[in-house]
Structure 1
Amino acid sequence: MESKRQQKFAGVIQKDLAEIFQREGMSFLPNTLVTITRVRVTPDLAIARVFLSFFNNQNSSLALNTIKAHSSEIRYKLGSRIKNQVRIIPHLEFFVDDTNEYVERMDKIFDKISKEPRQPDTEE
C-alpha cells in the first residue's frame, strides 16, 4: 500500500515525464506515441518504476530498450523540472505495461467461450 506522499510524488513524476515524452519523445522514438500508464515510487522516494505503453510501434521491447538507453538524459530533464520540489531526483526504471495486450487476450478467450454451444443443464 502506497502512502499519500508516494502517490503524490508519483503523480508529479508521471505528469512531468508525460510532458517530456510529448515534447521530446520523437527524438528517441520517431512515429511512436509513448504513454505513461503508471508510476510506482519506493517508500524512500529514491526509485521510480515507470510503466510505459507504446502505440504505433510493432516491437515494444526494442522501444523499451531505446528508452532505457536514454534514461540518464530523461532523468536529467525530469530533474530540471522538479528540482525545486524534491531533495533527490529518483532513479528511473522503465517497464512495458502490457495491460492492453492482456485485456485483448482475455476478450478473445471470452468471445471464444461465448461462441461455443452450451451444454444443457442436466438435473438428476
Structure 2
Amino acid sequence: MNIRTERINYSIRKVIANAINNELSDPRVASSVTITRVSVSPDLSRANIYVSLFLESYTQEDVLSALRSSSGRLRKNISNKLRIRKIPKLTFLVDSGMDEALKIDKLIDQVVNEKS
C-alpha cells in the first residue's frame, strides 16, 4: 500500500467517524458503531469500512442496514471534505478483530486463574 492510499484511508475514516458521531440521526448507528479501519481499492472505486459494533438494543444486521442506507450521505460528506477525484462506493463490514482479541484475553485469564 502506498502513502497516498494510506492517507486516503485515514482521511475517509476520519470523515465517516465524524459524520456518524455528529450528523447521522439514526439511533441504530449513533452510539453503537466505531470505525476501526478503512481500506480503499487502488483505483478508489471501492472502500471497505470495517466497524466494531457495541450492540445493546439493535441487532448487527439492523446496524449494518442503517449504515448501508446512509452510505449516500456519507459519500456526499467525503466529496465535500476531501479533494479526491473519485468517491469510492462504501461497503460496511464487521471487524471481528475486537471479538478475537476479547476471546484471547479470556483464554489468558483462564490460564492465569488455573495456575493460581
Please, what TM-score do these two structures have when normalized by structure 1? 0.78
Q: Kindly tell me the number of residue pairs found equivalent between the two proteins.
A: 115
Structure 1 segments of 4 or more deviating over 4 A? none
Please name the residue that 2:62 is paired with: 62
Measured after TM superposition, the shift of residue 94 of structure 1 is 0.7
Structure 1 residue ranges without an equivalent (≥5): 119-124
Secondary structure at 1:25 match in 2 = coil
CA RMSD across the alignment = 2.2
Query: Conserved in 2, the CA contact under 8 Å of 1:28 and 1:66?
Result: no
C-alpha distance in 1 between matches for 2:88 and 2:115: 54
Measured after TM superposition, the shift of residue 105 of structure 1 is 1.0
Q: Is it true that 1:73 corresponds to 2:73 in the alignment?
A: yes
Please, what TM-score do these two structures have when normalized by structure 2? 0.82
- Residue 72 of structure 2 aligns to which amino acid in structure 1? S
Structure 2 residue ranges without an equivalent (≥5): none
- The percent identity for this pair of structures is 28
Secondary structure at 1:26 match in 2 = coil
Query: Conserved in 2, the CA contact under 8 Å of 1:32 and 1:56?
Result: no
Structure with max Cα Rg: 1
- Residue 96 of structure 2 aligns to which amino acid in structure 1? D
